[in-house]
Amino acid sequence: MTFHRGDEGRPQTSGLDDILKGRRMRRLRRADWSRRLVRETTLTVDDLIWPVFVVDGENVRVDVPSMPGVQRLSIDLAAAQAEEAARLGIPAIAIFPYTDPDLRDTMGSEAVNEQNLVCRATRAMKAAAPEVGLITDVALDPFTSHGHDGVLAGEEILNDETVAQMCRAALVQAAAGSDVIAPSDMMDGRVGAIRRALDGAGYHHVQIMSYTAKYASAFYGPFRDAVGTNKTLRGDKRTYQMDFGNIDEAVREAELDLNEGADSIMVKPGMPYLDVIRRLKDTFAVPTFAYQVSGEYAMIKAAAANGWIDGERAMWESLAAFKRAGADGVLTYFAPFIARQMKARG
């Protein structure tokens, strides 16, 4: 028999049976054991990259108000945190510095100082936990007085001058023991230039994880609090970061980065851009990472603090979504929290 509109309210058991002909999707969902057996994607500790904010001083731990549960740590505490990453089995940490405002200038000169905060943190964390991969961001914004990712001339971010400065920054980071250079600036040609600079200095083994499709986004706000660029940033980053309406452009960015020698690519922010992750993964079939950025973390934490959503479940669900979309791993501020839960579950 056919199922007519308007019949919904009436008992239709025999009619429904006829329609379903044994195709009952809910059968597989009935029990936990069955749901576990048929789950298509799973999240493990091997998927996590833990972003860490470092600050000068000793035994310093400063809350980032817009990121509950996240703190800026002095190097001694960051080294202890690297040990914790090792204990939890988290494969890698991404390091971001809160640079003393007095050290920031228009060129981002501190970025190329081999004794800068990132380099000192890298050395200390490597010594504390050699088995944990260290990813260092290469962009000038934590070091510039204007908060932009590049060298500024008037209103213009100079591309090639910025790339040259980033190559020098990448070299001091590699010398400090960084395993992965992650350019997060969106200048043109930076991946190839950094690859040549690294190879020229004998750092053939140092990877490049490119922030390939990085969008000019409102979701970076809390991060800019954490690294202290929110107050100083003049204007926005739309002349170098991508427009949120675009996805073909992400394919062209990825093609360039891979041709220039990127070992892995990244999409950022994460959750609003799952389609971009899927498209890049399907197109290039290379290691593809997602960055669940500060604003995404803050939204989940804020809604949970208000009792509007279940924060724990939202954490798991939001991170699993990246795997489902095709990501190989996720940079997430939830990394230690979810890794502890994973460990407790065994």
Q: How far is the CB of 26 from ligand PBG (least distance, A)?
A: 39
Q: Tell me the C-alpha distance between 95 and 125, whole Å.
A: 10
| Cβ nearer to ligand PBG, comparing 69 with 200 | 69
Active site (catalytic) residues: 214, 268
Q: How far is the CB of 234 from ligand PBG (least distance, A)?
A: 13
| Cβ nearer to ligand PBG, comparing 49 with 128 | 49
Give the sign of the dihedral formed by CA 66, CA 68, CA 70, CA 71.
positive
Angle at 8 between CA 7 and CA 9, to 5 degrees: 95
Contact (Cβ atoms closer than 8 angstroms) between residue 291 and residue 330: yes
Contact (Cβ atoms closer than 8 angstroms) between residue 250 and residue 280: yes
Q: Are strands 61-63 and 71-74 parallel, antiparallel or unpaired?
A: antiparallel
| Cβ nearer to ligand PBG, comparing 223 with 273 | 223
* Token pair in block for residue 49: 């990259």
Q: How far is the CB of 50 from ligand PBG (least distance, A)?
A: 12
Interacting residues toward ligand PBG by CB under 6 A? 137, 139, 141, 149, 184-185, 220, 223-224, 237, 293-294
| Cβ nearer to ligand PBG, comparing 12 with 145 | 145
Q: How far is the CB of 141 from ligand PBG (least distance, A)?
A: 5
Question: Which residue's C-beta sits nearest to ligand PBG?
Answer: 223
Q: Tell me the C-alpha distance between 267 and 205, whole Å.
A: 23
Q: Tell me the C-alpha distance between 35 and 38, whole Å.
A: 5
